[in-house]
């Protein structure tokens, strides 16, 4: 069993201006820094460990989480200021770009829930909530209250639980995540599945599973979505990891073509988006 380190820390700001890969969003919101899903064997592809947010931390990525204890007050103030200046109605927010907003500790701390309460009081144009965690189901009431301002994005990298177990064993199962997506869609929340990054899969079967679970799907790859044209994923040893697990041939440019074709054929072109253009379709 690995040990995790949790820490409470005050933050000076809630919303961070975005650009680059998330250029369609004005701000990102990370209720936590660090991520407990990323333990050894968890998300070996996670390049957030290479970003400034992880610099200065001596413990390995995946073993620490910093909870931004005053996030709700800061956010309330920042949203009120945007509202006062007349900019809130056009504001787009991505939650979260450098962590998962539904860490296990969110069950008790409820920082993400408090942020959603603030968004309900101060509605923006669009809030995209991205997670791999079924804990998001707890906040169905607040997310439905946001109506068509909210997009729920559930990350599911493969349809094959053997692949998930081999590459990111501490992530929730494929079926459990599909169940979460189906639940939000059933309640009328615009739901997307982010196949990000795409892991080895069975294209037709994957397309069939997604068809009733999501309004749209975004396919992303190590080479298009790691912010460095695959260099970060290569440096993280994904090619070697795939080779050790018997998935040679999947870590290469163009490996997503078969899946894209199967998705487009099953879901229709308009429900299948690709990489940055897909994430920024807000
Ligand atoms: S859940 Fe997301 S942020 Fe956390 S380790 Fe995995 S990829 Fe990184």
Q: How much is the pLDDT for 37?
A: 86
Q: Pocket around ligand 1: residues whose beta carbon is below 6 Å from it?
A: 35, 37-38, 42-43, 46, 48, 99-100, 132
Give the number of the atom of ligand 1 that is nearest the alpha carbon of residue 168: 6
Reduced 3-state DSSP string for 220-256: CCHHHHCCCCCHHHHHCCHHHHHHHHCCCCCCCCCCC
Tokens matching residue 180 = 């979460």
**Taking CA 171 as the corner, what is the angle to CA 168 and CA 177, rounded to the nearest 5 degrees?**
125
First to last CA, the chain: 40
- Ligand 1: residue of 33, 34, 48 to mutate (most ligand atoms within 8 A of CB) is 48
Rounded to a whole number, what is the largest CA-CA distance in the chain?
56
Task: Quickly tell me which residue has 């199962």 as its tokens.
Answer: 173
- Any idea which architecture 5-279 has in CATH? Alpha-Beta Horseshoe (3.80)
Tokens matching residue 111 = 């920082």
**pLDDT tens, position by position, 181-214:** 999 999 999 999 999 999 999 999 999 999 999 9
Domain range list for the chain: 5-279
DSSP state for residue 125 in the 8-state scheme? S
Distance of alpha carbon 26 from alpha carbon 19, whole angstroms: 8
For the cut 50, the answer to whether the pLDDT of residue 56 exceeds it is yes
**Taking CA 75 as the corner, what is the angle to CA 72 and CA 77, rounded to the nearest 5 degrees?**
110
pLDDT mean over 250-277? 97
For the cut 60, the answer to whether the pLDDT of residue 1 exceeds it is no
- Ligand 1: residue of 40, 43, 106 to mutate (most ligand atoms within 8 A of CB) is 43
**pLDDT tens, position by position, 31-41:** 999 999 876 65
Nearest CA to ligand 1 atom 6: 43
**pLDDT tens, position by position, 115-159:** 999 999 999 999 999 999 999 999 999 999 999 999 999 999 999
Rounded distance from Cα 228 to ligand 1 centre (Å): 17
């Amino acid at each position: 069993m690995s040990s995790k380190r949790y820490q409470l820390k005050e933050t000076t700001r809630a919303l961070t201006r975005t650009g680059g890969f998330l250029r369609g969003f004005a701000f990102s919101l990370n209720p936590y820094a660090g991520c407990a899903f990323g333990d050894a064997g968890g998300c070996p592809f996670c390049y957030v460990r290479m970003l400034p947010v992880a610099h200065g931390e001596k413990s390995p990525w995946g073993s620490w989480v910093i909870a931004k204890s005053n996030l709700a007050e800061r956010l309330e103030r920042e949203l009120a200021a945007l509202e006062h200046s007349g900019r809130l109605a056009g504001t787009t927010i991505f939650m979260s770009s450098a962590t998962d907003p539904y860490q296990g500790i969110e069950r008790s701390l409820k920082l993400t829930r408090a942020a959603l309460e603030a968004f309900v009081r101060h509605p923006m144009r669009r809030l995209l909530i991205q997670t791999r965690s079924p804990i998001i189901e707890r906040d169905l009431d607040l997310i439905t209250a946001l109506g068509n301002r909210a997009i729920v994005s559930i990350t599911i990298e493969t349809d094959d639980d053997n692949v998930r177990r081999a590459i990111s064993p501490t992530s929730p199962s494929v079926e459990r995540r599909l169940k979460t997506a189906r639940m939000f869609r059933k309640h009328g929340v615009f739901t997307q599945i982010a196949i990000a990054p795409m892991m080895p899969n069975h294209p037709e079967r994957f397309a069939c599973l997604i068809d009733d679970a999501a309004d749209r799907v975004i396919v992303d790859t190590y080479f298009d979505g790691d912010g460095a044209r695959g260099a970060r994923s290569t440096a993280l040893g994904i090619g070697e990891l795939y080779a050790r697990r018997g998935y040679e041939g999947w870590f290469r440019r163009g490996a997503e073509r078969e899946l894209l074709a199967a998705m487009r054929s099953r879901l229709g072109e308009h429900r299948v988006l690709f990489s940055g253009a897909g994430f920024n379709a807000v």
